[in-house]
């Protein structure tokens, strides 16, 4: 037999072989003889790998029935304890040959037949006791695979990867708990809808296909929903490019606990457009992808081999909520329904963590222009600087857009440059639109400077009611951002520049 030739011959070594010497010292191989003896005891072998050895069947050539039966009897006597047999990439093409070999191995549980090319499936064959079958790269159709699997009454694990399968149309044995369909040409989850009838299926691997959607473009007759027993799925290295797929996944697999989804184009995209995030559009990081995925799947416990801790879930859901809030803030109220339809967990997350703060585009005071709170314009404030010359009383006006992150020292440096002033030789007075009440005696004594061009609603109010004057605030020297002084919705500030006495 091939196993005897491969493992038995020479297992005890050559007695005339000279020992190896290095620098006059004999090198001893401790333990190798023991291993050889164990391998030579074919009766004790439990795992036998005969892949790629051009095995054509029980015998290498045609023989009589008596010779055939004798060979089968020798198989049973030589390796009675085999539990795993690998006959991959050989010359076996008849299922009858495989059945005869397996029938003599009473303890056989795992059978690998990858890469063989079989003829049509013979009927009435039974492979008793085998629980795991590998048919990768056999180019069998799904109908043939289903027919073969039906001849394994105890089958729980089936691998049918790399068989160019694009759709599954025939039911398969309901005993299966683990199914691998990796590296085929499946393009949607609805293409494997027939698997929803498997009430014992626990793990499904669709790695390396071309899946990019849950449903085909044609309207589905009923929603896709796998058995509650399915808790683990591998969708890595597919063509998933939209969060819509992840959202629909929670409905298709309601009890999903373990997911692998890395290596998809979705995670090469930015978290969101710059107008929403306020950041450059760069591919999301591993942490961002991790948080945004787990936040969309409430039942998930393991993602890409990483266990999801309570802290991971809280951080992920809060981050996801914040992005939804930013998206709502960057869009008009009329678009809210459409936006929330893309985030089915929004209501549930709000009940857990509270609703995010939404600050939508507002109209700037007096300008009539809508300002997006996430835009660059929202981070700038237009400052209108006015300075009266001492000589002729003329007024000079300069308009500068200044980032809210600038402090007063930086603003004064800008003023010094545009008015050609000595740094820190002046002060800045912000003329607000708020009115403060004053007493009659203070009004009569007030000789504050005012501009004829300062009209508007604030002056009209002050003229109609002499008991009020516009509030003025001096921007004192400090390292605080000017955004500390101005309201978030203020886009234009009038600032008076006054020279300090020498």
Dist CA 289 CA 266 (whole Å): 9
pTM, rounded to two decimals: 0.70
Please report which confidence band the pLDDT of residue 458 belongs to, taking 50, 70 and 90 as the band edges. Answer: very low
Q: Are 2 and 57 in contact (CB under 8 A)?
A: no
Mean pLDDT over 301-327 rounds to: 94
Q: Is 382 left (phi over 0), alpha (psi -120 to 50) or beta?
A: beta
More confident position, 455 or 258: 258
List the domain boundaries for the chain.
269-360, 375-446+457-499
Name every residue whose Cβ is closer than 8 Å to that of residue 471 and which is 6 or more positions away in sequence. Answer: 432, 434, 435, 436
Q: Are 353 and 318 in contact (CB under 8 A)?
A: yes
Name every residue whose Cβ is closer than 8 Å to that of residue 409 and which is 6 or more positions away in sequence. Answer: 477, 478, 479
Residue with tokens 């079958």: 133
Burial class (CB in 10 A: 0-12, 13-18, 19+), 252: buried
Q: Are 146 and 172 in contact (CB under 8 A)?
A: yes
Query: Among 146-155, 221-230, 490-499, where is mean pLDDT lowest?
Result: 490-499
| pLDDT of 265 above 90 | yes
Instruction: Tell how strand 302-303 and strand 306-307 pair up.
Output: antiparallel
Question: Mapping DSSP to helix (H, G, I), strand (E, B) and coil, where does residue 23 land?
Answer: coil
CATH of domain 375-446+457-499: 3.10.20.90
Nearest to residue 233, comparing CAs of 134, 299, 152? 299
Q: Over the stretch 136-178, which tens digit does the pLDDT of each residue have?
A: 999 999 999 999 999 999 999 999 999 999 999 999 999 999 9
Nearest to residue 188, comparing CAs of 166, 208, 169? 166
- Please report the pLDDT score of residue 378 as a whole number: 66
Name every residue whose Cβ is closer than 8 Å to that of residue 343 and which is 6 or more positions away in sequence. Answer: 247, 320, 324
Cα of first residue to Cα of last residue in the chain, in angstroms, is 111
DSSP result, 229-252: T--EEE-TTS----HHHHHHHHHH
| pLDDT of 368 above 50 | no
For 130-162, give one letter per residue: b (16+ CB within 10 A) or e: bbbbbbbbbebebebbbbbbbbbeebbbbbbbb
Length of the chain: 502
DSSP result, 169-208: -S---TT--EEE-TTS---BGGGGGGGGG-TT--EEE-TT
The encoded tokens of residue 103 equal 């029938």
| pLDDT of 205 above 60 | yes
Dist CA 414 CA 264 (whole Å): 49
- Please report the pLDDT score of residue 107 as a whole number: 95
The share of the chain scoring above pLDDT 90, in percent, equals: 54
Dist CA 460 CA 441 (whole Å): 21
Q: Are 221 and 271 in contact (CB under 8 A)?
A: no
Mean pLDDT over 350-375 rounds to: 67
Question: Mapping DSSP to helix (H, G, I), strand (E, B) and coil, where does residue 352 land?
Answer: helix
The encoded tokens of residue 358 equal 């939404």
Nearest to residue 201, comparing CAs of 181, 223, 222, 221? 181
Dist CA 176 CA 135 (whole Å): 14
The encoded tokens of residue 114 equal 């990858």
Query: Among 69-83, 285-299, 339-353, 364-378, where is mean pLDDT lowest?
Result: 364-378
Query: Among 9-23, 31-45, 363-377, where is mean pLDDT lowest?
Result: 363-377
Query: Among 89-98, 271-280, 347-356, where is mean pLDDT lowest?
Result: 271-280
Dist CA 434 CA 366 (whole Å): 14
Neighbours of 17 (CB within 10 A): 7
- Please report the pLDDT score of residue 44 as a whole number: 82
More confident position, 363 or 371: 371
* Residue 133 β-bridge partners: 111, 158
Dist CA 371 CA 359 (whole Å): 11
Mean pLDDT over 31-60 rounds to: 80
Q: Is 57 left (phi over 0), alpha (psi -120 to 50) or beta?
A: left
Mean pLDDT over 272-301 rounds to: 91
Cross-sheet strand order for the sheet of 492-499: 395-403, 380-388, 492-499, 426-437, 468-474
Dist CA 67 CA 87 (whole Å): 22
Instruction: Tell how strand 380-388 and strand 132-134 pair up.
Output: unpaired
Mean pLDDT over 90-96 rounds to: 94
CA angle 364, 369, 370 (to 5 degrees): 80
């Amino acid at each position: 037999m091939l196993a005897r030739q491969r493992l038995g011959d020479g297992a005890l070594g050559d007695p005339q072989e000279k020992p190896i010497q290095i620098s006059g010292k004999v090198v001893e191989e401790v333990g190798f003889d023991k291993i050889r003896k164990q391998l030579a005891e074919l009766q004790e072998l439990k795992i036998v790998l005969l892949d790629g050895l051009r095995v054509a069947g029980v015998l290498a050539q045609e023989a009589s029935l008596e010779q055939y039966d004798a060979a089968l009897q020798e198989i049973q006597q030589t390796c009675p304890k085999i539990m795993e047999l690998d006959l991959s990439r050989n010359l076996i093409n008849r299922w009858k040959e495989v059945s005869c070999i397996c029938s003599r191995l009473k303890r056989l549980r795992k059978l690998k037949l990858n890469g063989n090319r079989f003829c049509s499936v013979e009927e009435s064959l039974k492979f008793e006791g085998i629980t795991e079958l590998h048919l990768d790269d056999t180019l069998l159709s799904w109908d043939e695979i289903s027919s073969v699997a039906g001849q394994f009454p105890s089958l729980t694990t089936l691998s049918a990867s790399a068989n160019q399968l694009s759709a599954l149309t025939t039911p398969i044995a309901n005993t299966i708990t683990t199914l691998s369909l990796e590296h085929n040409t499946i393009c949607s989850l609805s293409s494997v809808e027939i698997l929803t009838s498997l009430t014992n299926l626990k793990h499904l691997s669709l790695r390396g296909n071309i899946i990019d959607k849950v449903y085909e473009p044609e309207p589905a007759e009923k929603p896709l929903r796998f058995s509650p027993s399915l808790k683990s799925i591998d969708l890595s290295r597919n063509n998933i490019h939209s969060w819509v797929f992840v959202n629909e996944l929670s409905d298709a697999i309601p009890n999903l606990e373990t997911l692998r989804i890395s290596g998809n184009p979705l995670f090469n995209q930015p978290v969101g457009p710059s107008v929403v995030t306020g950041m450059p559009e760069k591919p999301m990081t591993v942490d961002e992808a991790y948080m945004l995925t787990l936040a969309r799947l409430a039942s998930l416990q393991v993602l890409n081999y990483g266990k999801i801790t309570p802290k991971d879930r809280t951080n992920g859901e809060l981050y996801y909520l914040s992005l939804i809030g930013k998206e709502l803030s960057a869009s008009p109220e009329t678009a809210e329904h459409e936006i929330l339809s893309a985030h089915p967990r929004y209501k549930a997350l709000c009940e857990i963590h509270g609703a995010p703060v939404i600050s939508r585009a507002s109209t700037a005071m007096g300008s009539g222009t809508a300002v997006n709170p996430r835009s660059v314009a929202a981070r700038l404030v237009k400052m209108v600087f006015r300075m009266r010359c001492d000589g002729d009383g003329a007024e000079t006006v300069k308009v500068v857009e200044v980032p809210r992150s600038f402090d007063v020292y930086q603003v004064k440096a800008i003023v010094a440059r545009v008015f050609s002033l000595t740094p820190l030789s002046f002060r800045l007075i912000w003329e607000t639109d708020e009115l403060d009440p004053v007493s009659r005696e203070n009004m009569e004594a007030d000789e504050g400077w005012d501009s004829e061009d300062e009209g508007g609603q604030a002056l009209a109010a002050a003229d109609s009611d002499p008991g009020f004057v516009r509030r003025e605030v001096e921007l004192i020297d400090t390292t605080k951002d000017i955004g500390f002084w101005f309201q978030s919705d203020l886009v234009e500030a009038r600032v008076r520049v006054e020279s300090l006495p020498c």
